[in-house]
Amino acid sequence: MKVGFIGLGKMGSAMARNLIKAGHKLVLYNRTRSRAEELRPLGAEAAGTPGEAASGVEVLITMLADDRAVEDALLGPGQALQLLPAGAVHIGMSTISVALSRRLAAAHRERQQHYIAAPVFGRPEAAAAGKLFIVAAGPVKQIERCQVLFDAMGQKTFVLDQEPSSANVTKLAGNFLISTTIESLAEAFSLVRKSGVDPNKFLEVLTGSLFSAPVVINYGGMIAANHFEPVGFKLPLGFKDNRLVLAAAEEAAVPMPMASLVHDRFVAAMAQGLGDSDWSAIARISFQNAGLEKAA
């Protein structure tokens, strides 16, 4: 398939590489053009604008940091929405607000285009290995049409329903669970550390018994070591997703007190200069509160 791809950060670059390897023809756009140029030796084209990346393609994929980046690429004058052909599909794989997803669905309908929301679960190493979990919602026939693309990027695709924003709610709820798991691990490790228990032994007990989920293994290992590199998901992006889940909860009249607590952890972490760290570094706030570390 001929695919336009906008957004070549750590996740997007890995996803684009896997699409190229699977034999698809890609036209790439990134605000920092050098990232698109890096993939030209693999057979991809580098576009000068988002609109150029969308022109003449069957499918357009966006993998961008936040609502503003998606709006700038899709909805501005002369941008991708206006140049994407009628009948083409936009697959929004970014973690964005429910409100923006609804706006995109309506805007594409007006231009006789299709829209699928398909955010992903997985860190950059999973993207590189083609092992992402993809959550898709939108027109059933269009999801079936794009399944070959999903198969090149992920290990499993979960299809929800025909309302694209359902996938965005699911992704935000999932990220909320990850962030609260990180917070719970941080509090638990603070307790065992201050009680003189070896954190690595505690991690062994957790992951060898009732808590063997990948999120506990991966983030528990980082928290046990008090080492938050490599950075797979920057802390400000986690903060952004926390704000989005609180906005979705407010709209749906759903109290989420744990999300509010985690919000304060993100604020404190940003205030402590942890903005370049992995989002699991919010654990350091629990360590500081327990007197295990000094504030930066």
Task: Report the C-alpha gap between 237 and 193 in whole angstroms.
Answer: 28
Burial (CB count <10 Å: 0-12, 13-18, 19+), residue 253: exposed
From CA 296, how far away is CA 294, in angstroms rounded?
Answer: 6
Q: Does residue 141 carry a catalytic annotation?
A: no
DSSP classification of residue 294? -
Given the structure tokens 């022109």, which residue do they identify?
A: 55
C-alpha distances in Å from residue 13, one per residue of 10, 16, 129: 6, 5, 12
Please tell me the distance from the alpha carbon of residue 23 to that of residue 152, in angstroms, as a whole number: 10
Output the DSSP codes for 271-289: HTT-TTSBGGGGHHHHHHH
97 within 8 A of 168, measured Cβ to Cβ: yes
Exactly one of 10, 171, 234, 240 is catalytic; name it.
171
Q: Active-site positions?
A: 171
